[in-house]
Chain A
Amino acid sequence: MSIDKRITLQQAVEIIKDGSRLTFSGFTIWRRPMAVVYELIRQHRKGLHLIEVNGGSHTEFLVGAGCVDIWESCWVGHELYGKYGANVSRKVREKSLIVEDYSHAEMLYRFAAASQGVPYAVGQTSLGTDIHNPEYDMLGRAGLRDGKRIAKHKYIFTEDSFYGAGSLVLVPAAKVDIAVLFVHQVGEEGTVRINGQFYSDPEVARAADTTIVVAEEIVPEEYLRRDSTRNNIPSFEVDYILECPFGAHPSGVFGRYDVDGEFLKHFYATTRTQEGFDAFAKEWIHGHDQLSYLEKLGWSRMLNLRANSALNYTPRKTKGGN
């Protein structure tokens, strides 16, 4: 039985409300659902609460556009193409963004707990650091820990009672309303196939109440079911699907296209100030739709990013020193 879960980009973004707790697929500058990020900015979404295993350029876009009030994560930057998140940094300095710091492994454990339906995870990482400094519980300081939408505590320190392993830290499950994934292939019923590293996508898809999958291509469900061991996320965990070729640009997609490093360098260099960000958004986001965005990027740029389908990456020799 086939249930078509297709929606449009506009409909996908309408599902994400002001104030939603939101997360994404990918890793730093890889496989981020940028088409959705751009549409969120066009639709002026406000008050988003991002909870991410790690941030990246997409975080910088959303924060720069003023869509985000709270960001819980561990890292933001553009890897080689921009050494820190200048928009996050600016909004933190202006105190218009609350940042709650966890370590990378802790963020992963938080999503793993949510994906298992348990209220918290346990770890032995980052002990003795300021990540665990009780003074630095920023959501607590803001009086936002209601025990419903946001966990009552940032951490709980405890000791191992089973094997006497010593100090442990409990971290709350990362409960999110919506996860938006960008993947290689999705079937009409929602089965997801990712090629290459799948990062923390299976955990975030399972953790979220609603999962939207944006795919490079929608393929026959039956095709994916012929080889089910290669699939990463089962159909029923996915609520909505849409096809959006090159919808991860400027982030990269294994086997499809590389990160657009020049684009990110330009973004990083020109969006240190709010005026700079606004000018960038005016040029690249507002007044565009996904198709006109791709047209503006142009064929030569996109062909240069294209991965070799046998090698699954873009050998440096074949392009202009990206």
Chain B
Amino acid sequence: MSKHALPGEYSLPDLLCCAASREVRDNEVVFAGTGLPMVAILLAQRTHAPNLKLIFEAGTLDGRPPELPTSVGASCCEIGASRSSGLNDAFSIAQRGYVDLGYLGGAEVDQYGNVNTTCIGDYLHSELRLTGSGGNPDINSFASRTVFIMLHEKRRFVNNVSYITSPGWRVKKWPGGEFVHRRDLYGSAFRGGPSAVISTVGVFRFDEETGCMFLDTCHPGKTPEEIKDLCQFDLDISRVKGETEVPTLEELRIIHEVLDPEEIFIPKIKKHAHA
């Protein structure tokens, strides 16, 4: 195995990308979104998970893009794919239960892993309308595991998200809106839920029975107490395993020389910043 990078040899986006990449197991069917997740998946494909199957929401199945796509509708997505078709295939496959892992993002998350990508403030009198759901709730409903990659700020790790766009482990049962365990609502369609949140300060996981988030690892230089203080809710820090594994030199080479040499999603660290 390649040597781990030293402090100063990697950036925070590098760390997030490698942490995300390690969530993939070989042979899994993975639903890919645009951006850093795309780099993470292609990194996994070139390291520990050469047989993963990549699905793009726009309709490419088992894709092997020759270069990093800038969006899932992009022309290079379908080059080398097993099948290129459309959304009906992509979502049918997901609802049928073929998808093991999905990567998603969000603006806000609560302690149950409910994520908001719809609006900031009251939905009916919205201060800021965001992109909307896209396939976030669908991938999160259908996949066995989902991994969220998020910027960590106290205003983003909140008691109550402005709008539940994507379902966590405890969700609202309509028409009343009372919180129930996801398992009780999804019935035969229950396959799992959010398995990790990778933020800019640490990696978080969920107790699948209580549905609550706990801190799994701290990124280098961060303490559990510091991280707890960056959450509005009472974060469980009793199960911390240690530090998030840092990138290896080989992973950094693949990210910056093979996958994203143009720095579309992951900037290179400047030479003078080297330790």
Contacts and interface: CB of A to CB of B under 8 A. Distances in A.
Contacts of A75: 131-134
Interface string A24-47: 001111110000000000000000
A203 to B, nearest CB: 7
B75 A74 contact: no
A85 B129 CA distance: 8
Contact of A93 (B76, B126, B134, B142): B126
B98 interface: no
Interface stretch (A2-10, A120-128, A273-281): A120-128
Interface residues of A, number: 76
Interface stretch (B21-29, B80-88, B221-229, B250-258): B80-88
A62 B131 CA distance: 16
Contacts of A102: 133
Contact of A83 (B57, B131, B173, B188): B131
Contacts of B57: 104
A73 B180 CA distance: 27
B134 A74 contact: yes
A28 to B, nearest CB: 5
Nearest to A53: B87
A258 to B, nearest CB: 7
Interface in A183-220: 196-203
B131 A199 contact: no
Interface residues on B, range: 35 or more
Given A83-B131, A129-B165, A133-B172, A108 B87 contact: yes
Contacts of A130: 118, 123, 163-165, 172
Interface in B110-168: 114, 118, 123-124, 126-138, 141-142, 163-167
B129 A163 contact: no
A91 to B, nearest CB: 9
Contacts of B174: 128, 132-134, 157
B167 A197 contact: no
B70 interface: yes
A80 B70 contact: yes
Nearest to B174: A132
B262 interface: yes
21 contacts: A54-B134, A74-B135, A79-B70, A80-B264, A84-B130, A85-B129, A85-B131, A103-B136, A104-B87, A104-B91, A124-B187, A125-B137, A126-B166, A165-B189, A197-B56, A198-B59, A199-B58, A200-B88, A312-B79, A313-B76, A315-B67
Interface of A: 26-31, 53-55, 73-77, 79-80, 83-85, 88-89, 92-93, 99, 101-106, 108-109, 112, 123-136, 157, 160, 163-167, 196-203, 252, 254-255, 258-259, 261, 307, 311-316, 321
